[in-house]
Amino acid sequence: MKKKIASGAFAAIIIAVFAVILLLKPGKYGGLEIQEEEERRPGEWFLIQRAYPQWKINYDVLNQARTEAQKMRDAATEGLQLAWKAAGPTNVGGRVADVAVDPRSTDTIYVGSASGGILKSVDGGYMWEEIFDDQPSLAIGAVAVDPSNPRTIYAGTGEPNAGGGSVTYGGYGVFRSTDGGATWEHLGLESSVYIGRIVVHPADPAKIFVAANGALFSANPERGVYRTDDSGTTWENVLFLNDSTGAVDLAINPIHPDTLYAAMWMRKRGPDYRIFGSDDCGLYRSTDGGDSWHELAGGLPAGPDVGRIGVSVCASQPRTVYAIYADATGYFLGVYKSTDGGDSWARTDDSGFTFFYSSYGWWFGNVRVDPTNPEKAFALGITMYRTTNGGATWSRVADETHVDNHAMYVDPANPDWIILGDDGGIFISTNGGTFWSKSYDLPITQFYTIHMDFSNPLRIYGGTQDNSTVRTLTGSVSDWDVILGGDGFYCVVDPTNSNVIYAEYQWGGLHKSTDLGFSWDEVLTGINVSDRRNWSTPVVMDPSDPNTLYYGTYRLYRTTNGALSWTSISSDLSSGPGPGNIVFGTITTIAVAPSDASVIYVGTDDSNVWVTLDGGSSWNHLSDSLPDRWVTRVAVDPYDALTAYVTFSGFKWDSPLPHVYRTTDAGVTWQDISSNLPEAPVNVIVVDSLYPNILYLGTDVGAFYSMDVGSTWAPLGTDLPNCYVVDMVFHNPTRTLVAGTYGRSAFKLDVTDIVGVETLARSTLHPPLFELLQNHPNPFESRTSISFRLSEESGVLLEIYNSTGARVRVLEHRTFGPGTHQIVWDGCDGSRNPLPGGSYIYRLTAAGHATSRRMVLLR
C-alpha cells in the first residue's frame, strides 16, 4: 500500500507522549502551571529583542547582513573548512506553517517550516531532504505546487502566524523552483514581509496570487493580494485596504478559477498595544480573476471585534465554502458555511469547541474542506475538530498529534489520506483523520538554548519552542525525548553528577531532577514569583561549585544548596517595567567568572550591563558607553575575571551598530570587536577555554569565529544552513562545539583543526606560558606575597583592582625571566596610602594574556 501507517505499538507510544505534553504544557492546558492570559500572554520574544528600542525591524539592514554573510562564506571556500554535522533532533519536529503535495505523485510532499526552510519527501513522508537551506530567509509562510507542472514550486517567506513566543522574522518575498527544489530564483515582493498563502491558477500557470500580510511591528503599504500574469516578472496589488491590513489566506474555485476568496486581517504590534483585529478584517470575493473585489456579508461576523479569518473551497462542489473566524482578542467566533459561493452564510459549529482557540486565534486561523465531500471539513486550532455532516455536529480529533494546528492537505484521489502540519511537525492519517502517525526525520526544531553534559558529552540537552526540554542520551539525531513540558528554555546538568539536572519552561518555571530527568520538583523557594521574568529566564551554574546557581528576574538570585532555597543578591538591575503589555525590564543573561566565583556579570533586555566583584555585595553599572539594545549574552575569559564580552541584538538605524564588545578592566572601558562582522543581531559568544584568543559567535546570519580576540572574523565551518544560531556550548576535552539553531535543530563541530593553522601564534596557548598562584597569607592585614611562574622570559604587568573595578596599584611592569617569582604587596595604593579593608583582585598580564585571583585585606 502506498501510504504507510505506524504499528499499533508505535501508535501507543505517540499517544503516551502526547498525553505527557498535554499535561505538562503550561499556559494552554492543565498541569504544572495555569497562567491568566492577560497576565502571562505569550510575548513575541524573537521579534521584540530584535526590534528594541525602535519597536520595528530594519529589514534593509537585515537583508544587507544576509548578503554580506553569504559573500563571506563564498570567499572562505578556499580556506580552512570544518564541516558541521547534524546533531538532531529529527524525531521531535517543529512548527510547520504550510504543506503542499505533487498532485501527480502524492508521495512527493513539500513542508514549509516556520524558520527551517522547506523540506521535501519523495516517499510519502518517511525521509526528508532540506531543499531551501541556502536561501536568504528560512522563515516560510506558504508553499504551493503548480498543478499543471508539479516540478515548479513556489515559496512565500515570512510566517504569518502573528503571536507566540517565537514569531520569527519576516521573509524576503516569493521564490520559485522549476526543478523540484534543486535550485531557486527570487521573484520579488520582498517588502511584503509575511506571506500567508500562494495560489497558482489551475489553467494558466503564469497567473499566481499571493496573500501578503505585511509587517507586524510597523505599517507598510506592501500588503494585500498580489497577482502576476507573467510568472512573477511583474506584480500588481489587486486588493489593498490600508497599510495595516493584509491578506492572510486565499482560496480559488478550481472549476471557475476567476472566482477567488481573500481573508483580510488587520494586525499590528507595539510596545504598549496589540491590535489583532478591527472592522477592516473581512472576507472578500472576486469573480473576475482579481480585477475587482467586494466584501462578503450575508451572515458573516462584522465590526471592530473581527480578527483573523481562514477560508477553504470544496474542489468538487466549489459553491460550498467554509470560513473560520476569531475575534480581535483571539477567541473563537465560529465556523461559517456557504452553499451559494459566498452570497449567504450560516454558522455551523456547536458548543463543543471548549479549548478550540483559547484566545490564540491569531496563531492558527485555518479551515479545510474535503475536496471530494463538502460535508466533511476540519477546523484547525489548538486542537482540531472535524465535521462529517456539513457542520451540523463537530467532534474533536487528532488528540495523538501535537497541539497548535496550522496546515493540512487532503488527497483528492484518496481523501482518507491527510497530512497535518502543526507545532510538532508533520502527522499523517490514512483513515480520514481519526488516527494519525508522526512523520519523523524532520530536523526543524526551534531551540532557545543548548547544553551538554560535561561528564557525558554525547548527551545533549536543549530548550525548544513549543516542544519542551528535550535531550539525547546517545548522541543520535533520532532518539531525543521530552524530559520537561511546555516551551523549554535553560537547562543545566551538574558536571559532577549527571543525574542532577535543572530545566525550566516559559517565564522561568524552574525544576530540578535528581534521577536523570525521570521525575521533577519545582525549585523556586525564595524567588518572588511576582518578579518580572523574561520569556527565557536565565539560569546558570557556578563553574566552580555545582550547588551554587544563579537565576535572573529583574534582580539576581543565588542558591548555594542546589536550589533548595534562593536569596536575592541585587536590587532591580533593569531600568524598570517595560511599556504596555510587554513583559520588559528583565535579566537576559548571567555569567560567573570561571577563575573567580565572586565576579558575576549580568545583562538585561533594556541594555543594562552590570558586574559584581564581591559576590553581590556591591554592583557596578557598565553600560553607559554601550549600545541601547537588548543584551543577549555576557561571557567571561576562563582565566581572567576582569576580561569579559557582551553581545547585543537589534539593528542599526542612523549610524553603525556594533554588536560585540570586550572589556579587560571589568567594564570600566569597552572595545568594539565587531570589526568585519555583518551588522546583524548576535545571540551568543563562547570563549575557547583552552585558547582564549579564539572566540565563537552565533548570529542571525550564521556562525563565525575569531582567532585574534575579535580583530577579524571568519565564517565558522561549512554545511550549516542559513539559519539563526541562537546558542552554543563548548566541550573542551573533546574540542566539540554544539550550536542550537532556531528552526533547523542542532549541529556539532569538531574545532580541533582550528588550532593547527600556521597563523596561530604559539603564545595563544594558555595557561602553560604562565601560572598565577594564590597569595599568602590570605586574608592578610599588612603584607601578602603574590607568586607567579613563567615558562619563558616575558614582559609582566601585575595590577591590583578594588571591588568597584578601579585599578588601585601597579605592582610590577617589567620583564621577568623563566621561573617562579614573588612580589610583596603592602596593602597600599600607588601613593603609599593604606587602602581600606575589603576584597581585591590581583591580575597578571604576560604575552598578551591575563589571569586574575582574589584576596582579602583586613583592617
Give the architecture (CATH level 2) of 8-56+96-439. Answer: 7 Propeller (2.130)
Q: Which helix (H) or strand (E) holds 772?
A: strand 770-772
Give the architecture (CATH level 2) of 447-763. Answer: 7 Propeller (2.130)
Cell numbers that stand for 71 in this block: 559573500
Q: What is the dihedral of CA 591, 699, 573, 566, to 10 degrees?
A: -50
Residue 851 DSSP label: E
Q: Most confidently modeled of 47-56, 352-361, 538-547?
A: 538-547
Average of per-residue pLDDT across 623-642: 96
Question: Distance between CA atoms of 332 and 322, rounded to whole angstroms?
Answer: 15
Average of per-residue pLDDT across 745-770: 67
Residue 579 DSSP label: S
Q: Over 90: is that where the pLDDT of 738 sits?
A: yes
Give residue-wise pLDDT tens across range 172-191. Answer: 999 999 999 999 999 999 99
Q: Over 60: is that where the pLDDT of 24 sits?
A: no
Q: In what order do the strands lie in the sheet with 784-790?
A: 770-772, 784-790, 819-825
Q: Over 80: is that where the pLDDT of 39 sits?
A: no
Give residue-wise pLDDT tens across range 389-404. Answer: 999 999 999 988 999 9
Q: Which of 34-38, 93-97, 575-579 has the lowest mean pLDDT?
A: 34-38
Give residue-wise pLDDT tens across range 187-199. Answer: 999 999 999 999 9
The CATH superfamily holding the domain 767-857 is Macroglobulin (MG2) domain (2.60.40.1930)
Q: Over 80: is that where the pLDDT of 30 sits?
A: no
Name the amino acid, one letter, at 208.
I
Burial class (CB within 10 angstroms; exposed 0-12, middle 13-18, buried 19+) of 469: buried
Q: State the pLDDT confidence band at 758, using cuts at 50, 70 and 90.
A: very low
% of the chain with per-residue pLDDT over 90: 80
Residue 11: the pLDDT is 36
Q: Over 90: is that where the pLDDT of 655 sits?
A: no
Residue 360: the pLDDT is 85
Residue 25: the pLDDT is 38
Please give the sequence-ordered ranges of beta strands (E in DSSP) within 180-241, or none if there are none: 185-188, 195-200, 208-212, 224-228, 236-239
Q: Which of 40-54, 100-114, 139-153, 778-792 has the lowest mean pLDDT?
A: 40-54
Give residue-wise pLDDT tens across range 239-282. Answer: 999 999 999 999 999 999 999 999 999 998 877 778 899 999 99
DSSP string, 421-446: EETTEEEEESSTTSS-EEE------B
DSSP string, 89-115: -SSS---EEEEEE-TT-TT-EEEEETT
Residue 10: the pLDDT is 34
Are the folds of 8-56+96-439 and 767-857 the same? Answer: no
Q: State the pLDDT confidence band at 20, using cuts at 50, 70 and 90.
A: very low
Question: Distance between CA atoms of 669 and 551, rounded to whole angstroms?
Answer: 27
Q: Across-strand partners of 380?
A: 366, 384
Nearest Cα residue to 326 out of 317, 316, 335: 335
Question: Distance between CA atoms of 189 and 176, rounded to whole angstroms?
Answer: 12
Residue 202: the pLDDT is 96
DSSP string, 621-674: E--TTS-SS-EEEEEE-SS-TT-EEEEE----SSS----EEEESSTTSS-EE--
Residue 755: the pLDDT is 65
Residue 846: the pLDDT is 87
Helices (H), 639-766: none
Question: Distance between CA atoms of 789 and 210, rounded to whole angstroms?
Answer: 69
So where are the chain's domains?
8-56+96-439, 447-763, 767-857
Question: Distance between CA atoms of 288 and 811, rounded to whole angstroms?
Answer: 86
Give residue-wise pLDDT tens across range 213-238. Answer: 999 888 999 999 999 999 999 999 99
Q: Across-strand partners of 522?
A: 511
Phi first, then psi, for residue 194 (nearest 5°) are: -125, 130
Cell numbers that stand for 761 in this block: 601564534
Q: Across-strand partners of 449?
A: 463
Give residue-wise pLDDT tens across range 435-484. Answer: 999 999 999 999 999 999 999 999 999 999 999 999 999 999 999 999 99
Cell numbers that stand for 25 in this block: 504544557
Residue 7: the pLDDT is 32
Q: Over 90: is that where the pLDDT of 57 sits?
A: no
Give residue-wise pLDDT tens across range 129-141. Answer: 999 999 999 999 9
Mean of the per-residue pLDDT values of the chain: 90
Residue 590: the pLDDT is 98
Residue 752: the pLDDT is 87
Average of per-residue pLDDT across 786-808: 91
Cell numbers that stand for 350 in this block: 456547536
Average of per-residue pLDDT across 278-292: 98
